[in-house]
Chain A
Amino acid sequence: MDTLIQLLDLTVRSAVPLLLACLAGLYSERSGIVDIGLEGKMLGGAFAAAAAAAVTGSAWLGLGAGILVAVSLSLIHGFASITNRGNQIVSGVAINFIAAGLSALLGQAWFSQGGRTPQLQKVERFNPLELPLSETLSSIPIFGPVYRDLISGHNLIAYFAFLMVPLTWWVLYRTRFGLRLRAVGENPAAVDTAGISVSWARYRAVICCGVLCGVAGAYLSIGVSAGFVKDMTAGRGFIALAALIFAKWRPVAAMWACLLFGFLGAIEIRYQGVALPLVGVVPVQLMQALPYILTVILLAGFIGKAIPPKAGGVPYTKER
């Protein structure tokens, strides 16, 4: 029971940044802007958050800086792909490199610690929260330990991430903004005909994407760790992208996909080199590659069909 709870707790921890980045990508891609720059935006956000927290001594200012930088990168992507009608994939690749290069370069130039930011104090981070009554209720069988060790004890950003799931669902499916966002991703010409600006709708979606990427970055650098390390996102942006496809661009499914990939990550950390029942020792690399393999199989249509937003990746030209 305890090991299971620990495993699930680790799952949640690995899933949070994926979930935030995945929802970020959801906003962008549902509006027709393909985004493979999630990784870079998360990285830029993580660096800015840690740097600002280290300099100002405030976790909240750190979070703000992280969001600001990630949104700026988003706007570059938006400018290239919405205003200039450039290739969205090329732009996303560019964002990834600019963020990776700039964060490490500035990190070294400012703090001279090999691209790291200084170790953050407790007050400069988002620390685990103790939910009310977690000790009192812990004597209740099953619910008690689950509440104390799994549900309680995460930082604010983690709760925010899971809160964003219903919120995103509500925004996408129950608000005017969401309807328009989905519409520009499916049929921008129709939206344009209705007198609504396609560009503006897409820009707003891209900004939402930046905000969430910034939060995801902050979770990594000033939440679960105490500072920024070069390339600390380590491919999470791409796993998030995979999760987005896996979830077929739907918010609630995105959460399950991220939890699944987080679970794989947790097993990888927890059971490294341990022989599992039935299968024996699974090479840790197989576990690392599994999210990617699953996504490839899904994309190939062997487990359901992932149909992307129809206008995804296509720049909108008003008239010819």
Chain B
Amino acid sequence: MNLTLPRWVDYGLMPLINVAVAFLIAGLVVLFVGESPVQAAYLMVRGAFGNGYNLGFTFFFATTFIFTGLAVAVAFHAGLFNIGGEGQAYIGGLGVGLVCLSMDTVLPWWMTFPLAIIGAAAFGALWAFIPAYLQARRGSHIVITTIMFNFIASALMVYLLAGPLQKAANLGPRTRDFEAGGQIPKLDWLFKPFGVDMGASPLNISFLLALIMAGVVWAVVWRTRFGYEMRTQGVSPRAAIYAGMPEVKIIVLTMMFSGALAGMMALNPVMGDQTRLQLDFVEGAGFVGIAVALMGRSHPAGIVPAAILFGALYQGGAELAFDMPNITRDMIVMIQGLVILFAGAMEFMFRPALARIFSAPAQQEKIS
């Protein structure tokens, strides 16, 4: 089943076909529900990109998905499936929250922010460390453990937010609002010169951090010794062991890197939008990361556009639900599932056909 494709097909055309199929099915569902798919698509695009405010929301969601997408992708490279991004982001939020709650009155935001980044990354990494260690040392399956850790994280956060960290019982499970030191600036100034007015949209500087992290991930995975070891481990764990690469260390460090990225996702909603720690701020973003990573073929250059696409889906879907009450935001969850199905589980379905079309005969002979 070794079908090599030209790079542009593998990284460009394939994801497009997968997404197109997912959208086609979604369109059929819209039709089935009795609405016009064309109209729905129009409303969605307008809702995502129609004006500056909406565009700001699209990029706000995209920021979150870049982080979680990178997190899943990093683990993929080492052959690990980190399904625990959700929990790691949640616990990462705890790191952000603790930093902000203790520093926001003392330090200005530009000093709190780096500390919060460290807090988010450290807590996220810690939450990934235990499953990673258990996989590497004790052989428990990382997928199952990370799923379990999602639930444990959720229970822990409910306990903390409804208990020790709660501001007041009548306000529900959340902390107090952060002071100015715990709030990061919006990003509307960056888009102003282009004539885009983002108004009160929550897009903030963590978007820039997400782009930087995309660069960092690229550099680490493809330009360092550790990245090389990681990818070797992913392609062939046996080869990695034979080459004397430290298996346990690779697994643990990769997962901690992945968890740190997932944890940093929390900066965006917690410091950039809600400016307090509250229940369920992750809202499934950890799982969206799986779809984003699969669609972006685990490469930062693919993940960023894939994250923007999903950002547009989330924002456009919210607007769509407003205009067509029959089509709720749950449709986005379904599309996400379809993208995961076609870009991930069924990636081999279109591959043979594409290989027949695009692979030169000579190249195929070389393979066989």
Q: Does B158 contact A (CB under 8 A)?
A: yes
Q: Does A5 contact B (CB under 8 A)?
A: no
With contacts A90-B345, A91-B345, A301-B139 known, is A101 near B331, CB below 8 A? yes
Q: In the complex, A88→B345 CA distance in Å?
A: 7
Interface membership of chain B positions 239-255, coded 1 if the CB is closer than 8 angstroms to chain A and 0 otherwise: 00000000000000000
B residues in contact with A112, CB < 8 Å: 325-326
Q: Return chain A residues, CB-CB under 8 Å to B149.
A: 292, 296
Q: Determine the residue in chain A with the shortest Cβ distance to B288.
A: A97
- Encoded as 1 (CB less than 8 Å from any A CB) or 0, chain B from 14 to 48 comes to 00000000000000010001100000000000000
Q: Do B151 and A296 touch across chains, with their CB atoms under 8 A apart?
A: no
CB distance A98 to B138 under 8 Å? no
User: Does A138 belong to the interface (CB within 8 Å)?
Assistant: no
Among A93, A100, A103, A295, which residue has its beta carbon within 8 angstroms of that of B83?
A93
Residue from A96, A292, A301 whose CB has the most chain B CB atoms within 10 Å: A292
**Shortest Cβ distance from residue A303 to the other chain B in the assembled complex, whole angstroms:** 12
Q: Report the number of A-B residue pairs with Cβ-Cβ less than 8 Å.
A: 159
- Range class of the B interface residue count: 35 or more
A230 to B138, CA, bound (A): 38
- The B-contacting residues of A in range 277-302, CB under 8 angstroms, are 283, 285-286, 288-289, 292-293, 295-296, 299-301
Say whether, besides A84-B345, A90-B290, A105-B29, A299 and B151 are in contact (CB < 8 Å): no
What is the minimal beta-carbon distance from B16 to any residue of chain A, in angstroms? Answer: 18
Q: How far is the CA of A115 from the CA of B330 in the complex (A)?
A: 9
| Chain B contacts for A90, CB-based, 8 A | 81, 290, 294, 340-341, 344-345
Identify the closest chain B residue to A91 (Cβ).
Answer: B345
Q: Kindly state whether residue A263 has any CB partner on chain B within 8 Å.
A: no
The distance in angstroms between the C-alpha atoms of A97 and B330, with both chains bound, is 9
Q: State the Cβ distance, A280 to closest chain B Cβ, in Å.
A: 14
The total of chain A residues at the interface (CB under 8 A) is 52
Contacts A95-B337, A105-B334, A296-B140 given; indicate if A285 touches B155 (C-beta within 8 A).
Answer: yes
Residues of A within 8 A of B287 (CB): 93, 97
Chain A positions 184-241 with a Cβ under 8 Å from a chain B Cβ: 230, 235, 238, 241
- Verify B151–A101 contact, CB threshold 8 A: no
Question: What's the nearest-Cβ distance from chain B to residue A262, in Å?
Answer: 16
Among A98, A99, A283, the one with the most B-chain Cβ atoms within 10 Å of its Cβ is A98
Which of chain B's residues have a CB closer than 8 A to the CB of A99? 337
Q: Give the distance in Å from the alpha carbon of A289 to the alpha carbon of B155 in the complex.
A: 6
Q: Is A274 an interface residue (CB 8 A)?
A: no
- Which of the candidate stretches B206-214, B225-233, B258-266, B346-354 sits at the interface with the other chain? B346-354
Q: Report the minimal beta-carbon distance from B323 to chain A, rounded to whole angstroms.
A: 14
Cβ contact within 8 Å between B148 and A86: no
Are A81 and B345 in touch, CB under 8 angstroms?
A: yes
Nearest chain B CB to A317's CB is how many angstroms away?
7
Most buried by B among A96, A104, A300: A300
Q: Does B3 contact A (CB under 8 A)?
A: no
Q: Closest approach, in angstroms, between the C-beta of B127 and any C-beta of chain A? A: 12
Complex Cα–Cα for A181 and B157 (A): 41
Q: Which residues of B contact A102 (CB under 8 A)?
A: 29, 330, 334
CB contact between B328 and one of A94, A104, A283, A286 (< 8 Å): that residue: A104
Is A253 part of the binding interface, using a Cβ–Cβ cutoff of 8 Å? Answer: no
Tell me if B344 and A36 are in contact (CB < 8 A). Answer: no
Main secondary structure of the interface of B (DSSP, over half): helix
Also in contact, A94 and B330, with CB within 8 A (given A289-B151, A295-B144): no
Which residues of the other chain, A, contact B333 by a CB distance below 8 angstroms? 97, 100-101, 104
Q: Give Cα A103–Cα B337 distance, bound, in whole angstroms.
A: 13
CB–CB B345/A86 < 8 A: yes
A106 touches B (CB below 8 Å): yes
Q: Is B143 an interface residue (CB 8 A)?
A: yes
B336–A97 touching, CB < 8 Å? yes
Q: Which of B291-346 contact A (CB under 8 A)?
A: 294, 325-328, 330-338, 340-341, 344-346
Instruction: Determine if A72 is an interface residue (Cβ-Cβ < 8 Å).
Output: no
Asked if A122 is at the interface of the complex by the 8 Å CB criterion, the answer is no
Closest to B337 in A: A97
Q: Is there contact, CB below 8 Å, between A285 and B159?
A: yes
* CB atoms of B139 and A108 under 8 A apart: no
Residue ID in chain B nearest A83 by CB atoms: B349
- Mask of B118-157 contacts with A, CB within 8 angstroms, 1/0: 0000000000001100100011110111011101100110
Determine whether the beta carbon of A105 is less than 8 Å from that of B330.
yes
Does A80 touch B at the CB level, under 8 Å?
Answer: yes
Asked whether any CB of chain A lies closer than 8 Å to the CB of B172, the reply is no
Q: Which residues of B contact A (CB under 8 A)?
A: 1, 29, 33-34, 81, 83, 130-131, 134, 138-141, 143-145, 147-149, 151-152, 155-156, 158-159, 163, 287, 290, 294, 325-328, 330-338, 340-341, 344-349
A-B pairs with beta carbons under 8 Å apart, 16 shown: A90-B290, A91-B345, A93-B287, A93-B344, A94-B337, A96-B337, A97-B334, A98-B341, A100-B330, A104-B330, A108-B328, A288-B151, A289-B151, A293-B148, A295-B148, A296-B140
> What is A's interface to B at a CB cutoff of 8 Å?
36, 76, 79-81, 84-91, 93-106, 108-109, 112, 115, 230, 235, 238, 241-242, 245, 283, 285-286, 288-289, 292-293, 295-296, 299-301, 306, 308, 317
Q: Lowest 10 CB-CB distances: which A-B pairs, in order?
A: A101-B334, A97-B337, A101-B333, A91-B345, A299-B140, A98-B337, A94-B341, A104-B330, A86-B345, A90-B344
Known: A91-B344, A93-B340, A101-B337. 20 other contacts (CB 8 A): A85-B1, A85-B348, A86-B346, A90-B340, A93-B337, A94-B338, A97-B336, A98-B334, A98-B337, A98-B341, A100-B334, A115-B330, A238-B148, A285-B158, A288-B155, A292-B148, A295-B144, A295-B148, A300-B138, A317-B1
